Structure 1
Amino acid sequence: MIRIKLSEVLGRKKMTRKKLAELANVRPNTIGDMYNEKVRKIDLDTLDRICAVLKCNISDLLQYQDENGEK
């Protein structure tokens, strides 16, 4: 299972979902779905723009956990 840690990263950066959507030129609904871990697919260009705005790596946003919840 892949976890999306956007809510954690935004919390650390003290940035709102709305501000991220504006700066990354991504639809607010897309950011909201990622924030709430409701997405099934993520466009690589979208990830690239989010990482650029947040100055982070993909590994800061995504985390793999096996069936037992281990990283």
Structure 2
Amino acid sequence: MIRIKLSDLLGKHKMSQKALSDLTKIRPATISKMYYEESKRLDIQQLNSICHVFNCKISDLLEYIPDDDKTE
């Protein structure tokens, strides 16, 4: 699974979802879905905008966690 670490970044930078939305021009509802890790798809340009605001790498925003079920 892919973990979206937006809540961690917002907390670290003491920034609200609304402020991030204003800075990136990403809809508040989209930011909220990312924050609560409810997004099914992620837009590359939006990820780029978020990384630009936080001056971070994509690995600071997304984390791959292998699934526990090992199907053969």
Output the TM-score relative to the length of structure 1. Answer: 0.92
Q: Which residue of 1 aligns with 2:6?
A: 6
**1:26 pairs with 2:30:** no
Larger Rg: 2
Question: Which consecutive residues of structure 1, in runs of 5 or more, have no partner in the other structure?
Answer: none
In structure 2, C-alpha distance between the alignment counterparts of 1:28 and 1:42, rounded to whole Å? 14
CA-based RMSD of the aligned residues comes to: 0.6
Q: For 1:6, give the aligned amino acid.
A: L
Q: Which residue of 2 aligns with 1:53?
A: 53
4+ aligned runs moved over 4 Å, structure 1:
none
Q: Which residue of 1 aligns with 2:35?
A: 35
- Percent sequence identity over aligned pairs: 49
In structure 1, C-alpha distance between the alignment counterparts of 2:58 and 2:25, rounded to whole Å? 18
Deviation at 1:60, TM superposition (A): 0.3
Deviation at 1:54, TM superposition (A): 1.2
Deviation at 1:52, TM superposition (A): 0.5
Question: Which consecutive residues of structure 2, in runs of 5 or more, have no partner in the other structure?
Answer: none
